[in-house]
Structure 1
Amino acid sequence: MILSLLFLSLNLSSLFRCSIARGGTLHRSDRSGYLDGSIYGHLGRRLYSENNQMSEEEYIEKLEKLAEGYMSNSDLEKAMKEFNSRCSNISRIYSIGKSVLGVPLWAVEISDLPGAKEAEPAFKFIGNVHGDEPLGRELLLLLANWLCDNYMKDPLATLIVDGVHLHILPSMNPDGFSLRRRGNANNIDLNRDFPDQFFRVNDDMDLRQPETKAIMKWLEDVDFTASASLHGGALVANYPWDGTEDTKKYYYGCPDDKTFRFLASVYSRSHYNMSLSKEFPGGITNGAYWYPIYGGMQDWNYIHCGCFELTLEISDNKWPNASEIPTLWGYNRMSMLSLVAGLVKTGLHGRIFSSDNGRPLPASVAIRGINYTIAASKTLADYHRLLAPGKYEVIASMPGYRSKSACVVLGEGAVKVDFVLDPETSYNGTQPLLDSGCDFDSKTGFQVLDFLPASQLEISMLLILILAFFCFLMKRRVRSNHLNYKQSLGARRVVV
């Protein structure tokens, strides 16, 4: 125990300031297949029950009345610019692209250093994916203003602004909103327009919608750790997978199913009444179990970008009356804040460096037993691995370097672990790491298995040997003094 504490104390000083990770790819074989029109053309998970009894003109007329009190596209742009002007110390506004009709897709970043590259996680909220589900537009502006008003006053607001780069896109589908319909100006459902893991129907980039292309380019520019899109028509937190290989309806979990259920439950439990759902136990559901969709944004985020995305159905009514917005904001506010704050308060954080020159390494981070790998960022080599509470062996690896691992026990809080990788001179590529045999009976938060560079390990062992040598000398001196004392007593007692 003493040697373990000494070993840790000698090396904790070498750990750099940790932060949260992002990036990565899922190693899955390509799937080929086809989609029939009935599957691909599925409009939504739940539509107005009276839609079948309404003509299109009657439905649009109804939505026009419901739109009263909602921000128009020009109102939304004006509100975002006013927010940025009022809260310029913690925000910046930018466009990720344009819609079919040329409407800018405005986004706002909220951070203590907006626009800067930091070893921190990035989270994105996307609203109004479907044109006739506009509640997210309103709630996301309310969220931005709440963070601005409560920064340095409320601990949760301060934690998010200081520890996360939060990006908010209130409307992905401004054309659909103005046309009062689900699809965009080309009448395409944007949540069926992304590349799919099972079917190649969306693989032609030229046929992809400009709004979809803008989202895909956005994720090339920003290493998002997690995200959520806001929808309407049900009250549930939905998680991957959204589809199945055979198009049938059943539970089909992704490699991080446990973590996604944890994240969905964070939102549901913090909501006013989502977790009380009678239709969805705990207020969460696997998408494929609800019913399969293909070309969805949530699965694409996870597979291609290392971004853990949830699809949040935040209102039973797809287009609630504007008078209900304050109430629905109250129902969802803590859920939205808790989901973003979870990037800092839970999971595994760290950075990865090279032992020979100290430079950051964009290495891969894997969890033994989970077939999913993320990558540290290319610039700062920070990584963030979202995980549910539990016991894990985390492995850092990179071609040309020796893999290293650590055993981690995640509880209610986050764990920070940096890795320092040694160049592998005798092996061409990434050396496979054998089973380390993590001892999770240990009471410590994590165990260092092969964590230190060789130079630090040699110094540590040398110090341990020196300490052992001093202990040997001290013990010998005590025994010598004790023997002399006994001999002195004997001289007094024995008469020669």
Structure 2
Amino acid sequence: MKELIFSRIFLSLILLSSFSPAIARGGELTSLSSGLRNISYAGSTRRLFQENQSQSSVDKAHGYMTNADLEKAIMEFARRCSNISRIYSIGKSVNGVPLWVIEISDKPGKEEAEPAFKFIGNVHGDEPVGRELLILLANWICDNQMKDPLARLIIQNVHLHILPSMNPDGFSIKRRGNANNIDLNRDFPDQFSPLNDDEDMRQPETRAIMNWLKEIHFTASASLHGGALVANYPWDGTPDRKSHYFSCPDDETFRFMASTYSRSHYNMSLSTEFQGGITNGASWYPIYGGMQDWNYIYAGCFELTLEISDNKWPDAKELPIIWEYNRMSMLNLVASLVKTGVHGRIFSSDSGRPLPGFIMIKGINYTVKAGRAFADYHRMLAPEGKYQVVATVPGYKLKTTSIWLGAEATTVDFILDPEVTPGDGKLLKSICDCNNEREARRVLAGFFWGPHLEIYFVLAVILAFLCILLQRRIKSNLSRSRQITKRSIVV
């Protein structure tokens, strides 16, 4: 009997040792291993780690900022770096915690013909590393604004928005979901799943993000997660719900963006599990209702999901080294908005005013919208390639130009001609033309029929009197002229 018991125990140990680490995007799953870490695992196998269940919640959170600490750090940053920043909230969590955002720019809060980038941390409550790193990033840019070229480039050419914590309630209870126990990275509208189509059913944190992107047109963004070490890019899901590579229209551009992060990282690109330290989300494992795909489809924003730490909740003592490993990756990803791609503005040839139109790349089924105020566009593209760029505006002739995009960014401004109607040769009026013409009529009518009416009546009476005098003088001169003529004829 004892031999049978020992043999079963021995067999169980063999089976347990044969399990491979579980895969987790943003901490979706956790491995059977615990207590081990592999931060500098150059070339070795990635391992995911569950929190040590023997540790208390207090021990796990020791050294991390509480929500109150985080808010205090944000306000302190605003006070210390007021010349390059502003603080605003995009909404509140289920429990009423403000979702604070830091904007960094040389003209914070003002719309410019510049690209905008956003970082979002703590999407999952039990992945707090991102919120710590984003505060460190903001302070690093502030501290180095006068001495580091990369910091100056970002401040002067990009509007950087940082949301350190999207899920403060989940962080407080040290749980993946929010206060309603909903996974916020499964709560967005999805192209393959109709489950999230009811806006009233979405969480307040999700709605806050969606409304945020209605107000600000972000060119690109990234969310910070934990539980792996890889840069993940769209698509996240597949039509058949099976795990396989499923590319989006801008697959090459996303691979370039993900590689920009991975190659700048201390060891992400050395992964033996993910070639080059990057992965297509659907190839890893499909998810639905993710924030990454929603950004690209519905908001015109190129977003990455960055897994920045093998351990979802590492000891706080490891945060400085994790920050150093990710610092250049975060900076270079933001800087890539102005260092690469094609940028420019769209104008009207007849008036010279900006036209908020659209930019397309032939062969890529995706449209980028130009800004409303300055008609500026910022189109992310993989470098070292030939592209045909097309600008379109309703009521204007489209224009196409070919570019060779090298390692640096290219600027292309478009001047579009109004369309002509087929029959009478008249120019078609664009929507902007009609609005401007109606406004001109309104202003003109207000000017003539406003408080100036009495003045114009007096002037009209004087003018009429002068006309009568002039007519009498003309008749008198004409009568004399006839008399002189008669005299000349009479002999």
Taking structure 2 as the reference length, the TM-score comes to 0.76
Q: Distance in 2 between matches of 1:60 and 1:148?
A: 40
Match of 1:196 among 164, 181, 190: 190
Match of 1:425 among 420, 428, 444: 420
1:301 aligns with 2:295: yes
Which position in structure 2 is the counterpart of 1:388? 382
1:49 aligns with 2:13: no
Which position in structure 1 is the counterpart of 2:394? 399
**How big is the shift at 1:58?**
7.9
Q: SS of 1:201's equivalent?
A: helix
Which position in structure 1 is the counterpart of 2:136? 142
Q: Distance in 1 between matches of 2:88 and 2:135?
A: 15
Partner deviation per Cα, 1:192-215 (whole Å, 9 max, x = no partner): 000000111001111100000000
Check conservation: 1:46, 1:234, Cα contact below 8 A: no
Match of 1:411 among 401, 406, 414: 406
Using a 3 Å threshold, how does the CA distance of structure 1 residues 43 and 354 change in structure 2: closer, same or farther?
closer
Which position in structure 1 is the counterpart of 2:348? 354
Which position in structure 1 is the counterpart of 2:231? 237
Using a 3 Å threshold, how does the CA distance of structure 1 residues 177 and 88 change in structure 2: closer, same or farther?
same
What are the within-5 Å matches in structure 2 for residues 16-415 of structure 1? 44-50=27-33, 59=53, 62-389=56-383, 390-415=385-410
Using a 3 Å threshold, how does the CA distance of structure 1 residues 259 and 88 change in structure 2: closer, same or farther?
same
Using a 3 Å threshold, how does the CA distance of structure 1 residues 44 and 137 change in structure 2: closer, same or farther?
closer
Q: Distance in 1 between matches of 2:26 and 2:241?
A: 16
Check conservation: 2:269, 2:276, Cα contact below 8 A: yes
**Partner amino acid for 1:400?**
G
Check conservation: 1:232, 1:318, Cα contact below 8 A: yes
Taking only the aligned residue pairs, the percentage that are identical comes to 71
Check conservation: 1:136, 1:230, Cα contact below 8 A: yes
Q: SS of 1:167's equivalent?
A: strand
Matched residue count: 384
Taking structure 1 as the reference length, the TM-score comes to 0.76
**How big is the shift at 1:324?**
0.4
**How big is the shift at 1:181?**
0.4
Using a 3 Å threshold, how does the CA distance of structure 1 residues 373 and 57 change in structure 2: closer, same or farther?
closer
Q: Distance in 2 between matches of 1:67 and 1:260?
A: 34
**Partner amino acid for 2:228?**
A
Give 5+ residue unaligned stretches, structure 1: 1-40, 429-496
Give 5+ residue unaligned stretches, structure 2: 1-23, 35-49, 424-491
Check conservation: 1:64, 1:180, Cα contact below 8 A: no
Q: Distance in 2 between matches of 1:228 and 1:427?
A: 48
Check conservation: 1:397, 1:404, Cα contact below 8 A: yes
Q: Distance in 2 between matches of 1:265 and 1:344?
A: 17
**How big is the shift at 1:49?**
2.6
Check conservation: 2:117, 2:218, Cα contact below 8 A: yes
**How big is the shift at 1:64?**
3.1
More relative contact order, 1 or 2 (CA 8 Å, 6+ apart):
1
Check conservation: 1:60, 1:180, Cα contact below 8 A: no
Q: Distance in 2 between matches of 1:378 and 1:184?
A: 35
Check conservation: 1:45, 1:291, Cα contact below 8 A: no
**How big is the shift at 1:427?**
5.9
**Partner amino acid for 2:332?**
S
Using a 3 Å threshold, how does the CA distance of structure 1 residues 197 and 250 change in structure 2: closer, same or farther?
same
Check conservation: 1:43, 1:189, Cα contact below 8 A: no
Partner deviation per Cα, 1:425-453 (whole Å, 9 max, x = no partner): 2269xxxxxxxxxxxxxxxxxxxxxxxxx
Q: Distance in 2 between matches of 1:204 and 1:111?
A: 36
RMSD: 1.8
Using a 3 Å threshold, how does the CA distance of structure 1 residues 90 and 57 change in structure 2: closer, same or farther?
closer
**Partner amino acid for 2:235?**
W
**How big is the shift at 1:65?**
1.3
**How big is the shift at 1:353?**
0.7
Q: Distance in 1 between matches of 2:408 and 2:299?
A: 25
**How big is the shift at 1:66?**
1.6
Q: Distance in 2 between matches of 1:66 and 1:57?
A: 8
Q: Distance in 2 between matches of 1:359 and 1:143?
A: 38
**How big is the shift at 1:356?**
1.1
Using a 3 Å threshold, how does the CA distance of structure 1 residues 42 and 121 change in structure 2: closer, same or farther?
closer
Check conservation: 1:348, 1:385, Cα contact below 8 A: yes
**Partner amino acid for 2:305?**
T
Using a 3 Å threshold, how does the CA distance of structure 1 residues 167 and 399 change in structure 2: closer, same or farther?
same
Check conservation: 2:25, 2:228, Cα contact below 8 A: no
Q: Distance in 1 between matches of 2:169 and 2:83?
A: 31
